[in-house]
Amino acid sequence: MGSRFRAALVLAVAGALSISCGGIIDPSQNQMQSFSGTVAVGGNGPVHSFSAAKTGEISVKITALAPSSGSLLGILWAQSPTAGACNGQILQNTLAQLNVPAISNQIISGSYCIQLYDAGYLTATTTYTVSVSHP
Protein backbone atom coordinates (compact mmCIF):
# COMPACT_ATOMS: atom_id res chain seq x y z
CA MET A 1 0.00 0.00 0.00
CA GLY A 2 2.88 2.38 0.74
CA SER A 3 4.37 1.91 -2.75
CA ARG A 4 1.01 2.74 -4.40
CA PHE A 5 0.80 5.94 -2.37
CA ARG A 6 4.36 6.90 -3.35
CA ALA A 7 3.66 6.17 -7.03
CA ALA A 8 0.49 8.31 -6.89
CA LEU A 9 2.39 11.09 -5.15
CA VAL A 10 5.17 11.01 -7.76
CA LEU A 11 2.60 11.21 -10.58
CA ALA A 12 0.79 14.09 -8.89
CA VAL A 13 4.03 16.04 -8.39
CA ALA A 14 5.14 15.37 -11.99
CA GLY A 15 1.77 16.56 -13.27
CA ALA A 16 1.91 19.72 -11.19
CA LEU A 17 5.44 20.47 -12.40
CA SER A 18 4.51 19.99 -16.06
CA ILE A 19 1.57 22.38 -15.69
CA SER A 20 3.66 25.00 -13.91
CA CYS A 21 6.42 24.73 -16.53
CA GLY A 22 4.20 25.67 -19.40
CA GLY A 23 2.12 22.69 -20.43
CA ILE A 24 -0.15 22.83 -23.45
CA ILE A 25 -2.20 25.98 -24.02
CA ASP A 26 -5.92 25.76 -24.85
CA PRO A 27 -6.47 27.37 -28.31
CA SER A 28 -9.05 29.72 -26.75
CA GLN A 29 -6.12 31.23 -24.77
CA ASN A 30 -4.01 31.88 -27.91
CA GLN A 31 -2.77 35.31 -28.85
CA MET A 32 -3.72 36.72 -32.23
CA GLN A 33 -1.21 38.56 -34.41
CA SER A 34 -2.02 40.24 -37.71
CA PHE A 35 0.57 40.97 -40.36
CA SER A 36 0.17 42.92 -43.60
CA GLY A 37 2.21 43.04 -46.75
CA THR A 38 2.32 43.12 -50.53
CA VAL A 39 3.12 40.36 -53.01
CA ALA A 40 4.13 41.25 -56.58
CA VAL A 41 3.38 38.95 -59.49
CA GLY A 42 5.99 36.18 -59.29
CA GLY A 43 7.31 37.52 -55.98
CA ASN A 44 7.42 37.01 -52.23
CA GLY A 45 5.90 39.09 -49.48
CA PRO A 46 7.85 40.19 -46.43
CA VAL A 47 8.88 37.75 -43.71
CA HIS A 48 6.60 37.90 -40.66
CA SER A 49 8.37 36.57 -37.55
CA PHE A 50 6.67 35.54 -34.32
CA SER A 51 7.39 33.44 -31.23
CA ALA A 52 5.27 30.80 -29.55
CA ALA A 53 5.85 30.87 -25.81
CA LYS A 54 4.32 27.44 -25.18
CA THR A 55 3.08 24.31 -26.88
CA GLY A 56 -0.40 24.44 -28.39
CA GLU A 57 -2.10 24.97 -31.73
CA ILE A 58 -1.44 27.40 -34.57
CA SER A 59 -4.04 28.65 -37.01
CA VAL A 60 -3.29 30.92 -39.99
CA LYS A 61 -5.71 32.53 -42.44
CA ILE A 62 -5.76 35.44 -44.83
CA THR A 63 -8.25 38.03 -43.60
CA ALA A 64 -7.91 40.68 -46.35
CA LEU A 65 -6.90 40.62 -50.03
CA ALA A 66 -6.92 43.41 -52.61
CA PRO A 67 -7.47 44.13 -55.43
CA SER A 68 -8.94 40.66 -56.04
CA SER A 69 -10.46 38.89 -53.04
CA GLY A 70 -10.54 35.66 -55.05
CA SER A 71 -6.75 35.41 -55.43
CA LEU A 72 -4.80 32.37 -54.27
CA LEU A 73 -1.51 32.93 -52.45
CA GLY A 74 1.09 30.51 -51.21
CA ILE A 75 1.82 30.51 -47.48
CA LEU A 76 5.07 29.18 -46.06
CA TRP A 77 5.35 28.41 -42.32
CA ALA A 78 8.85 27.64 -41.07
CA GLN A 79 11.06 27.70 -38.03
CA SER A 80 12.99 30.94 -37.91
CA PRO A 81 16.57 30.49 -36.65
CA THR A 82 17.45 34.11 -37.47
CA ALA A 83 15.30 37.20 -37.08
CA GLY A 84 13.96 38.56 -40.36
CA ALA A 85 14.63 35.36 -42.28
CA CYS A 86 12.29 32.53 -43.12
CA ASN A 87 15.02 30.03 -43.96
CA GLY A 88 14.64 27.38 -41.25
CA GLN A 89 12.94 24.00 -41.43
CA ILE A 90 9.75 24.28 -43.51
CA LEU A 91 6.81 23.06 -41.45
CA GLN A 92 4.04 23.66 -43.99
CA ASN A 93 3.77 25.12 -47.47
CA THR A 94 0.24 25.47 -48.83
CA LEU A 95 -2.16 27.53 -50.93
CA ALA A 96 -4.50 29.96 -49.19
CA GLN A 97 -7.59 31.94 -50.02
CA LEU A 98 -9.47 34.67 -48.21
CA ASN A 99 -11.10 33.73 -44.86
CA VAL A 100 -10.33 30.00 -45.10
CA PRO A 101 -7.91 28.50 -42.54
CA ALA A 102 -4.72 27.71 -44.47
CA ILE A 103 -2.68 26.29 -41.61
CA SER A 104 -4.04 24.48 -38.57
CA ASN A 105 -1.46 22.44 -36.74
CA GLN A 106 0.36 21.75 -33.49
CA ILE A 107 3.14 24.15 -32.51
CA ILE A 108 5.82 23.90 -29.83
CA SER A 109 7.54 26.85 -28.19
CA GLY A 110 10.08 28.54 -30.42
CA SER A 111 10.68 31.12 -33.15
CA TYR A 112 8.71 30.91 -36.39
CA CYS A 113 7.90 32.83 -39.53
CA ILE A 114 5.14 33.13 -42.10
CA GLN A 115 5.76 34.31 -45.65
CA LEU A 116 3.18 34.73 -48.39
CA TYR A 117 4.14 34.42 -52.06
CA ASP A 118 2.74 34.25 -55.57
CA ALA A 119 2.16 30.58 -56.37
CA GLY A 120 1.54 31.42 -60.03
CA TYR A 121 -2.03 32.72 -59.70
CA LEU A 122 -1.58 36.49 -59.34
CA THR A 123 -2.24 38.86 -62.24
CA ALA A 124 -1.54 42.05 -60.27
CA THR A 125 0.37 43.14 -57.17
CA THR A 126 -1.74 42.08 -54.18
CA THR A 127 -1.93 43.46 -50.65
CA TYR A 128 -2.97 41.18 -47.81
CA THR A 129 -3.53 40.85 -44.11
CA VAL A 130 -2.87 37.47 -42.53
CA SER A 131 -3.97 36.45 -39.05
CA VAL A 132 -1.84 34.07 -36.94
CA SER A 133 -3.27 32.52 -33.77
CA HIS A 134 -0.64 30.86 -31.53
CA PRO A 135 0.20 30.24 -27.86
pLDDT in tens, 56-92: 999 999 999 999 999 999 999 999 877 677 888 999 9
The distance in angstroms from the start CA to the end CA of the chain is 41
The CATH topology of domain 26-134 is Jelly Rolls (2.60.120)
pLDDT in tens, 25-66: 676 788 999 999 999 999 999 999 999 999 999 999 999 999
pLDDT value of position 15: 45
Say how far apart CA 9 and CA 3 lie, in whole Å.
10
Distances (CA, A) of 12 to 7, 17, 24, 38: 9, 9, 17, 51
Domain boundaries, the chain: 26-134
